[in-house]
Amino acid sequence: LFMVKNIKAVKDAYINEGSGVIDFLPTLDKVKPDVFVVNAEGGSDEKRRICKERGIEYVELQRTPHAGLKARSSSDLKKALSNVSDNSAQEVGIPTRLDLAGTWIDQPYVSMYHPGWAITISLEPTFEVRDRCGLSTSTRKMIQKIWPVKLPDMNPEILAKLVFCFENDPERSDGIVSGAQDAIGICMPGLVRHYYDNRFWPDKFETCLDEKVLSWVESHVCMIPMDPRRPGCSVVEGKDITEPKVKNLAKAADDCWNAILAMDFAAFASAFQASFDAQVALFPAMIQGCVQSYIDQYSVLPEVHAWKMPGAGGGGYLVLVVDDVKSFAQQHPEAIELTIRRK
């Protein structure tokens, strides 16, 4: 209120005295304005009637965002913030990541059999990113310990390595090294592939920030929420890592990258599915719990051409490759549309 009152063009300002949706009537009658202005989503027939009774001109303004930007509203922000818990990694600035292909190749005990690429996209957190669901929430929580609100403006590759080293403290007692694809997928914008050869950190990177390609991916990839991975669930039990199986994983990721850059839908769906099948061949426990029932439900739909789980599996989200995301989401409101981070 202090800041608004000190704007030169403002004669006076008030905090509404009432409560509820129409909480401004006492102030309205006190100010007696000539014009009452609301945005379109804040307008209503009741407000129009109130103004008519008092001889006040009623004006509704449309929200018209700049080209390429989504319409924003305080109501949407409040709704998003209401889903945020104090001890979670939900926020308005820190991205998450989705692994498209080559998952597990970032672990040396996999790439020692054959080198290959992992492919990630960095996602804007436009949806609730739930814990234990394969979208790097543990890495995001680590990031929040350093940068609580948003990532710093610096070289994305260096930033990713800082996050990777911070998360994998040498004093870490559990002996587990988190895969580099989590930090890379969060910190490096756009579509990125990273090449692993028996090391924790990739030997090289390739990045695609082409707007046509990113928009194409967004139009064909969505997610379905599943139950989270159960506590104590181990997806590495029963793993069967052999050279032929790792070669299949590497080939599928290579094919997936080439198909995306060519915007070849059939080839993309085929390679996407081949990558997931290769992951499951290496780690059969990925599809334990509720996963198979969700696969059975969505894989039979004619508009669904491929599917996988992000991260280590065991629950979380089912990622689908579909003919058209917006059409699919209209028929299946549970589907989550994705926004790839551009910068």
Secondary structure string (H, E, C) spanning the chain: CHHHHCCCCCCCCCCCCCCCCCCCHHHHHHHCCCEEEEEHHHCCHHHHHHHHHHCCEEEEECCCCCCCCCCCCHHHHHHHHHCCCCCCCCCCCCCEEEEEECCCCCCHHHHCCCCEEEEEEEECCCCCCCCCCCCCHHHHHHHHHHCCCCCCCCCHHHHHHHHHHHHCCCCCCCCCCCCHHHHHHHHCCCEEEEEECCCCCCCEEEEECCHHHHHHHHCCEEEEECCCCCCCCCCCCCCCCCHHHHHHHHHHHHHHHHHHHHCCHHHHHHHHHHHHHHHHHHCHHHHCCCHHHHHHHHHCCCCEEEEECCCCCCCCEEEEEECCHHHHHHHCCCCEECCECCC
pLDDT at 334 over 50: yes
Mean predicted confidence (pLDDT) in 305-317: 90
Q: What is the pTM of this model?
A: 0.73
Predicted confidence at residue 74, as pLDDT, reads 66
Arithmetic mean of pLDDT over the chain: 89
pLDDT at 7 over 90: yes
At 234-255, the pLDDT tens digits run 888 899 999 999 999 999 999 9
